[in-house]
Amino acid sequence: MRIAPATWACALLTLSLSAACGGKSPTAPTAALGVSAPISQDLTHALSVTDFSLQGWRDGSFHYLPTMSVSVPATGSSLTVQRVDFYTLNGGATTHLTGVVFVSPQHVISPGGTLDLFHQNSPMEIVSAVALTSITATVSFTNGAGQTGTVAITENAPLFAPDGSSAALVIQAFSVVGSSEGASFGYWPKLTLAETSGVSRALIKKMTFELLDVGPAGHVPPSWEPREVPARGSMNLDEDDYGGPWLWITSMGDASRVSLTIAFVDDAGRGGSVTAVAPVSR
C-alpha cells in the first residue's frame, strides 16, 4: 500500500514559508492551499477473486488455460485492474510464468460488480515444458486515488495422462486464398479435417495460423472456438452461415505461405496436435 507524503502544516496560512519553518525549506512535497491530500485506504479486501480454475492438455508441452473472475464488494469503491501475473513454485523458488497488462479498454469494476478477466472464448494460455504442480495468479489493481493493491490466489494444476491421444486427427485438405487492399493483406484459410481412429472424437482446443517469411507481422491471434470432429467423421471449415469466410486473417505482412497447428484432445482429455503448410493463392 502506498502512503501519500505528509503535508507540512507549517506551510499553511503563512505569508513566509521560511519564517514559519525556522528558515528551512521543507524536504517533502506540500499540498496546495484548499486541496486535500490523498487519504490512505486499506485495500486488503477491496478486490476478491471469485473464480480461478485451470484446464488444459498435454501434447509434448503442457498447456494450461486459466479462467478467472474478480469482484468488488457493494460497500467498496470502483477499481481498475492493471495486470495479472502467473507464478509457480519450482524447487522451492518462485518462477514467473507469464503475465498480461490491461491497457485498452480499461478493466474497471464498480462496487458490487464482477468482471471476467479470462474465460473460455478469451483464455490466457500458459505453456510449460514440464508439468506444473500449482499456479498462483496475482492481480494488481488501482483505486480512484491512484493507490495500488494486489490479491493472489493459488490453484493446483490439473494432471494430464502421460499417454497420447486415442483420437487421430488428420488435415485432409488445407488451402489459403489471399487478397490485398493498400498495405493490408487478408487471408481466408479453407480446410477439411477427419478423425481416422474411430475410437474417440477429436475435440479441437486451439487453431494457430502463422504467416510465414514476413517476420513479426506473421504472428496472428489463434482461434479458440471449440469444435469437434466425430470418431471416423469429418468436418469442412470453409464458409460461415452467410456465405463469407469462416475465418478471416488480416495482417500488414504479404505472405506466400501459411502454417497451421491444431491442438486437440480425445474423450479422455489426452492431447495431440497436427500441423500443415499451404501456399497462398491470389
Residues 86 and 113 reside in one and the same domain:
yes
Say if CB 274 and CB 171 are below 8 A apart. Answer: yes
Question: In this predicted model, what pLDDT tens digit does every residue of 154-197 receive, in sequence order?
Answer: 999 999 988 889 999 999 999 999 999 999 999 999 999 999 99
Residue 27 forms part of a structural domain:
no
Question: In this predicted model, what pLDDT tens digit does every residue of 50-84 receive, in sequence order?
Answer: 999 999 999 889 999 999 999 999 999 999 999 99
Range of the domain at 93: 48-156
Q: What is the pLDDT at residue 33?
A: 39
Final residue of a structural domain among 125, 156, 187: 156
Residue 241 forms part of a structural domain:
yes
Compute CA distances 117 → 40, 107, 166, 187, 223, whole Å.
27, 8, 33, 29, 18
Measured distance CA(50)–CA(71) in Å, rounded: 7
Q: Which residues contact 119 (CB under 8 A, 6 or more apart)?
A: 67
Final residue of a structural domain among 98, 126, 156: 156
Residue 25 forms part of a structural domain:
no
Residue 12 forms part of a structural domain:
no
Q: What is the pLDDT at residue 113?
A: 97
H, E, C per residue of 164-228: CCCCCEEEEEEEEEEEEECCEEEEEEEEEEEECCCCCCEEEEEEEEEECCCHHHHECCCECCCEE
Strand 184-195, strand 234-237: pairing? antiparallel
pLDDT class for 15, splitting at 50, 70, 90? Answer: very low
Q: pTM above the 0.85 mark?
A: no
What CATH code is carried by the domain that includes residue 141?
Answer: 2.60.40.1470
DSSP symbol at 9: G
Q: What is the pLDDT at residue 121?
A: 76
Question: In this predicted model, what pLDDT tens digit does every residue of 104-117 receive, in sequence order?
Answer: 899 999 999 999 99
Q: What is the pLDDT at residue 274?
A: 96
- pLDDT tops 70 at residue 49: yes
Q: What percent of the chain has pLDDT over 70?
A: 85
Question: In this predicted model, what pLDDT tens digit does every residue of 232-279 receive, in sequence order?
Answer: 999 999 999 899 999 999 999 999 999 999 999 999 999 999 999 999
Residues 189 and 258 reside in one and the same domain:
yes
pLDDT class for 91, splitting at 50, 70, 90? Answer: confident
Residues 186 and 88 reside in one and the same domain:
no
Question: In this predicted model, what pLDDT tens digit does every residue of 20-39 receive, in sequence order?
Answer: 334 433 333 333 334 333 44
Residues 196 and 119 reside in one and the same domain:
no
Radius of gyration from C-alpha coordinates of the chain = 26
- pLDDT tops 70 at residue 231: yes
Final residue of a structural domain among 102, 133, 156: 156
Residue 161 forms part of a structural domain:
no
Residues 272 and 174 reside in one and the same domain:
yes
Q: What is the pLDDT at residue 24?
A: 36
Q: What is the pLDDT at residue 41?
A: 57
- pLDDT tops 60 at residue 7: no
Residues 113 and 151 reside in one and the same domain:
yes
Per the structure, how many domains does the chain have? 2
Residue 274, beta-bridge partner list: 262
Residues 136 and 233 reside in one and the same domain:
no
Strand 169-181, strand 271-281: pairing? parallel
DSSP symbol at 256: S
Residues 151 and 175 reside in one and the same domain:
no
Other residues' Cβ atoms within 10 Å of the Cβ of residue 58: 23
Q: What is the pLDDT at residue 61?
A: 92
Residues 226 and 267 reside in one and the same domain:
yes
DSSP characters over 10-21: GGTT-S-HHHHT
Say if CB 137 and CB 84 are below 8 A apart. Answer: yes
Residue 162 forms part of a structural domain:
no
Residues 254 and 176 reside in one and the same domain:
yes
- pLDDT tops 90 at residue 219: yes
pLDDT class for 19, splitting at 50, 70, 90? Answer: very low
Taking residues 201-206, what's their average pLDDT?
Answer: 96
Residue 119 forms part of a structural domain:
yes
Residue 13 forms part of a structural domain:
no
Residues 69 and 135 reside in one and the same domain:
yes
Residues 128 and 151 reside in one and the same domain:
yes
What CATH code is carried by the domain that includes residue 196?
Answer: 2.60.40
pLDDT class for 9, splitting at 50, 70, 90? Answer: very low
